Amino acid sequence: MTVAGVIERNGRYLLVEEHTAEGLRLNNPAGHLEPGESPEQGVVREVMEETAHPFEPTALVGVYLSRQRSASGDATYLRFAYTGRVGEPVPGQALDHGIVRTLWATLDELRAQPERLRSELVLRCIEDHAAGHRHAMEIVSTEPSVGAASLRAT
């Protein structure tokens, strides 16, 4: 499961340029959840790690299932994309390993260079945001922990 921030300011979207097996690619600030982390906590952490910007999610843009095939095998990803408010970059905050830089781009700029995108989900999430897709944060229900009590209930 992955989380992504879809962050817009003045008609431009915050992206990261990162090293991938296919070369430098553009991506939403995104990543995998850490153990015990909720999707909301994960997206706040990932945006900070990859962009140095504090992030406050306010809505879920969508949930996306993506299957990717490569020479090394097939992978299926479930992505929770959030939008919200972003603050100014934290001075001195290093970017995550593999992130070359952050940049702001318009939807038209991204549509004009699909070969630079890490996956089709980058553009899909941004297009859904631009179309006004917003869902209440409460739509994603998380349990504080899974323990013996929940196992007894099954």
The pLDDT value given to residue 36: 92
53 pLDDT tier (thresholds 50, 70, 90): very high
Does this model's pTM top 0.75?
yes
Residue 152: pLDDT over 60: no
What the chain holds in terms of domains, given with CATH numbers, is 2-152 (3.90.79.10)
Residue 150: pLDDT over 70: no
Contact 82, 61 (CB under 8 A): yes
The pLDDT value given to residue 68: 80
Name 104's Cβ contacts closer than 8 Å, sequence gap at least 6: 9, 12, 13, 14, 15
Residue 25: pLDDT over 60: yes
Provide the token pair at 19: 């090293």
User: Residue 64 pairs with which residues in a beta bridge?
Assistant: 79
